Chains A and B, each alone.
Chain A
């Protein structure tokens, strides 16, 4: 019973990390209908940036977030301008899978050249710290990641619902033609939207780097999980990404702790398949544009 409860606690806290990663993924699909295969690589790039700032300059990964977020935003805008904008609107969803996968491989190659293939960890003094509450361990970094994801998702909500840019994004998503007629620059919105989605990878990467060892190839394991989360939550729904992360993370942790780690991987795919059979658009996905 102790192991089961500890598993649930770990699952809930880890869900915060995944929600951070998947919210960007969902935003990018919502804005541009781009299935972003590069988000895992962006998270690992975010982890490397945090690692480098910590190792070279001693800047704490959480305090470095303004820097890493700005850099990742710039990387996202650059990728959109160079690799995604040239894609034709008609084929964007299909071709974006290939284009963003190529971007992921490119980023992996660059990371390998700069940091080689050795595993890295961000070992801050508190990276392994935990609080004992009623006999259960609450890992500090996971708790902070959970809180950080709530803050980041809250900020995303405010940007999308309370700013001019956010209105432009939602207008582009709901009715691109009308938005264009009303003066919304679709290309600019798409670039900034992709940049914003990529920027979430900075915070996710910092947390990931403190929790797990990583190397340039770590993104392959991440991307399948991220895609599962956004499919489960519903493509384009940020709230859905949070719920998807919770379902997948808690079910995996509980099964790993109480049944078997082998079945743990299988469990979330079973949950995903069941949801998709019953509700093909995911838990919170919409059949029409405007799911944000």
Chain B
């Protein structure tokens, strides 16, 4: 390369770098603090496809928060305008959506989609353009691996740690009331099996003997043979690393096999206030435990207002509120808190501010590690008298844990 060409090449490189720097700064630094127009927040949500039920619940949560903030004058005097687009539950479409929201619609801020599958690629797009990315769902281990500085998972803990509260509760019991044997039936997916494994390792370390541990594929329709094998071993504790359908199947099989363990914990499914009793029979829910971040009757910041607004907008009762809506609402709460604290609402401020301190939401007080993983803990909820009640830790408990679990049928 000649000297002339080298100089030309250097100056071109410098120009491109400068342009990129300006571009990035203007892309991410939507200087909301000084503007008076509406604050436009873009989000891609699964309104169709596999995640559509949860996606719509997320949309409800975002909308409720925006409506409530707007009714009270907006954020720093600016009305919130949500720009929500459908990603059809597709990880390809979600990338296109966030690129369009940022580059075409020039939204000021972005909120996250539903599920780990979509959050991973979406958070990368937000990172590329310097946007803060507050995600209400999708806390699988892979989300935190890229160590994105702009990412915040707005739940109390990473999903695979949501069973830690069960371990703490069991180990808080007097030695003669603790389970001595445990069985683990785990669905083969990125959340369920790792979550149950985390519980198993901690309980084994505490001396609880594992008598059964098997992972089953998601296409397993009939769990009776697995639950039959577990029932034959009479474990004190059964931990189901479950999603919804297999959670119902596990309980139905155990009822049919007439085996009721002293403790039954399921990572998902059992924490669904409306569907679970419908699926397994209301009388069979008594004593079953699950993790939860939000629960009806929670005294956490903003929970009462959220619940009232939800029921007014969508009907039903507090028991029918979808926790995905609560998680999405918490995303908005965090944003409001940042604005209240800093009197600014731009991406750089959000990112730098949220990496320190504790942030009150209806899910409890949240704080984050450098990679966006939350540092808190889930709550332990239990079915008692047909309701899902928080029972541990004692600071939030609305009832004492019921142990041992009564026989099937209450």
Residues of chain A at the chain B interface (Cβ within 8 Å): 2-3, 6-7, 10-11, 14, 116-121, 123, 127-130, 132, 137, 139, 211-213, 215, 221-222, 225, 252-254, 256-258, 260-262, 264-265
With A264-B220, A265-B217, A265-B220 given, is the CB distance from A123 to B225 under 8 Å?
Answer: no
Asked whether A257 lies within 8 Å of B217 as measured between CB atoms, the reply is no
Give the residue name and chain of the B residue nearest to A116 (CB). Answer: B53
Find out whether the CB atom of B216 lies under 8 angstroms from the CB atom of A261: yes
Known: A119-B275, A213-B248. 11 other contacts (CB 8 A): A3-B228, A6-B225, A6-B232, A7-B225, A11-B225, A213-B249, A253-B222, A254-B225, A256-B226, A260-B214, A265-B220
Indicate if B257 sits at the interface (CB-CB under 8 A). yes
Question: In the complex, what's the smallest C-beta–C-beta distance from B149 to chain A, in angstroms?
Answer: 36
Interface check B299, CB cutoff 8 A: no
A116 shortest CB reach to chain B, Å: 7
CB–CB B226/A121 < 8 A: no
Taking CB atoms, residues of chain B closer than 8 Å to A6 are 225, 228-229, 231-232, 257
Instruction: With both chains docked as a complex, state the minimum distance between the C-beta of B263 and any C-beta of chain A, in angstroms.
Output: 20
Nearest-CB residue, chain A, relative to B186: A261
CB pair B215–A262 under 8 Å, yes or no, is yes
Report Cα–Cα, A3/B224, bound state, in Å. 11
Q: Which residues of B contact A (CB under 8 A)?
A: 52-53, 188, 214-217, 219-222, 224-226, 228-229, 231-233, 244-245, 248-249, 252, 255-258, 275, 278-281, 284, 408
Tell me the complex Cα distance, A2–B259, Å. 14
Q: Which residue of B lies closest to A128 (CB)?
A: B255
In the complex, the answer to whether B228 meets A119 with C-beta atoms within 8 Å is no
> Least Cβ distance of A245 to chain B in Å?
13
- Kindly identify which residue among B221, B232, B279, B281 contacts A119, using a CB–CB cutoff of 8 Å: B279
Q: Which residue of A lies closest to B246 (CB)?
A: A213
Can you name 27 A-B pairs with beta carbons within 8 Å? A6-B231, A6-B257, A7-B229, A11-B225, A119-B245, A119-B248, A120-B278, A121-B248, A121-B252, A123-B279, A123-B281, A129-B256, A130-B257, A137-B228, A137-B257, A137-B258, A212-B252, A213-B244, A213-B279, A221-B221, A222-B221, A253-B225, A256-B216, A256-B220, A258-B229, A261-B217, A262-B216
Interface contact B216-A212, CB-CB below 8 Å: no
Given contacts A117-B52, A137-B256, A256-B225, whether A128 and B214 have CB atoms under 8 Å apart is: no
B349 to chain A, nearest CB (A): 39
Q: Give the residues in chain B near A130, CB-CB below 8 Å.
A: 256-258
Among candidates A116, A127, A213, residue contacting B245 with C-beta atoms closer than 8 Å: A213
B245–A2 touching, CB < 8 Å: no
Chain A residues lying within 8 Å of B244, measured Cβ to Cβ, are: 119, 213
- Asked whether B219 lies within 8 Å of A265 as measured between CB atoms, the reply is yes
Contacts of B216 in A (CB 8 A): 256, 261-262, 264
Across the two chains, which residue of chain B brings its CB closest to A256?
B225
- Set of chain B residues within 8 Å of A137, measured between Cβ atoms: 228, 256-258
On chain A, the residues within 8 Å of B280 by CB distance are 121, 123
